Amino acid sequence: MTGAAWPGLLALAAAVLVWSPQARLTAHRVRSLRPTPEPAGVASVGPTRRRRWLLAGAAGVAAGLLVGGLSGAAVAPVVAVVGERWLRTTEEGGGADDRTTLLRELPAACDLLGVCLSAGVPVGTALAAVGAAVPAPLGPHLAGVAALARLGAEPRRAWADVPVELAALGRVLVRAGESGAAAAPALRALAADSRASLRAGTEAAVQRAGVWVLAPLGACFLPAFVCLGVAPLVLGIAAEVFR
């Protein structure tokens, strides 16, 4: 490794340390000691974006120094931009993970709510009990709805701020509360539909994985077929034509 590459590697290591969760936790603790905290948009969005560009820029500098010359100067900004987009996509993937967890835990929560309501437990108490039993992020959402219900909020208002994945559950409980109909059958039907959707999604993911597993084989086989089968035939025909 050349001596010119060491500054880029040191910059990349420093950016990784800044990006690490422990560094973010330390920064959060330091901000919590301030008498006047920063606004939410400045405290969360700004530093996160700066950290992304710091890490991506350090990676670009390291790549440019490793390549060297004019090629390194051209590679560095490309690596920085691609790295920043990848980091941003990774952060946004956290929301997708939360949505997936909500959909995965929803059938069990519907079953538990159906059992509680069938036993005569009030809706607010059932939501609080199930919210304490199921894991996050579903549990805190149900507990929040139960807290709003205890404070006297209307059912529609209590369910207004839940994620879209819980909208069907909210409609079932709001409809049951307004009409007085039993909610347990509707909850069992919702749990069955949710499990069927999860099963269909899993099967589709398995089929996509099979396609991606075969992709490297196709990427290796097609060039070999062209080089060994098509190219000699084309060259032979061209030799006969231009003889």
Cα separation, 213 vs 132, whole angstroms: 41
Res. 113: pLDDT tops 80? yes
**Residue of higher predicted confidence among 237 and 96:** 237
Answer positive or negative: Cα dihedral of 187, 193, 194, 195. positive
238 in a structural domain? no
User: Could you tell me which of 162, 122, 171, 118 has the C-alpha nearest to residue 138?
Assistant: 162
Highest mean pLDDT among 98-102, 212-216, 219-223: 98-102
Domain count, the chain: 1
Look up the domain containing 175 and give its range. Answer: 102-197
- Looking at residue 82, its pLDDT comes to 77
Average pLDDT, the chain: 76
User: Is the pTM above the cut of 0.85?
Assistant: no
Q: Is residue 155 part of a domain?
A: yes
39 inside domain: no
What does the pLDDT read at residue 11?
A: 54
Asked whether residue 112 is assigned to any structural domain, the reply reads yes
* Residue range 212-238: mean pLDDT, rounded: 79
106 within a domain of the structure (yes/no)? yes
149 part of a folded domain: yes
pLDDT tens, position by position, 171-188? 999 988 887 778 999 999
148 within domain boundaries:
yes
Q: Is residue 136 in a domain?
A: yes
Q: Give residue 18's pLDDT.
A: 47
Question: What's the whole-number mean pLDDT along residues 5-26?
Answer: 50
Q: How far apart are CA 145 and CA 124, in angstroms?
A: 8
Lowest mean pLDDT among 74-88, 119-133, 202-216: 74-88
